[in-house]
Amino acid sequence: MSEYRTTADAFRTMAHEIVWCTVATVGPDDRPRTRVLHPFWEWEGDDLVGWIATSPTPLKRAALEHSANVSLTDWAPNHDTATADGAATWHLDDETCERVWDTFTGLPAPVGYDPHIIPTWAGGPTSDQFAALRLSPYRLRVMPGTAMISGEGETLTWTAT
């Protein structure tokens, strides 16, 4: 198995166990901003991609127009961390939004959930308050908490060439 596939599989497993992650962007004022979001990760051919259901607020749109680069870190109380750095792209078309919505409703908990619980998404996946954000990582890092605390366990890192 390739270094990429090994790291990506470990990343996906850990991220789906932790579920919630902190996502950092940099806005037009060159100041970082973080938010907590809930992605799912899937294979598209040989590429691991993430999807986030989110609202396309003016603040988020401005940040991603300024720089499409994002950094996501999932963290667990035992200090397991899964970090992905990559590019984010908006998908506002009905077909993609419906697919992401349906994927979230179809995945088992805790990754899967019913997006209708978000009040601003009452209009469903074709509402102008709902968007799909696609994540294309160029760097992945998976670190079990034991690696940081006791030096045991393997930290995996992959960076695109």
Range 37-47 average pLDDT: 97
pLDDT tier for residue 137 given thresholds of 50, 70 and 90: very high
Q: Find the CATH number of the domain harbouring 29.
A: 2.30.110.10
By residue range, what is the domain housing residue 137?
3-159
Predicted TM-score (pTM) of this structure: 0.94
CA angle, corner 156, sides to 150 and 158, nearest 5? 155
pLDDT tier for residue 51 given thresholds of 50, 70 and 90: very high
Range 66-87 average pLDDT: 97
Range 105-111 average pLDDT: 96
Q: What is the pLDDT of residue 152?
A: 79
What does the alpha-carbon distance between residue 98 and residue 143 come to, in Å, rounded to a whole number? Answer: 33
The tokens for 125 are: 């996946």
Please give the tally of structural domains in the chain.
Answer: 1
Residue 33 near residue 59, CB atoms below 8 Å = yes
Q: What is the pLDDT of residue 150?
A: 79
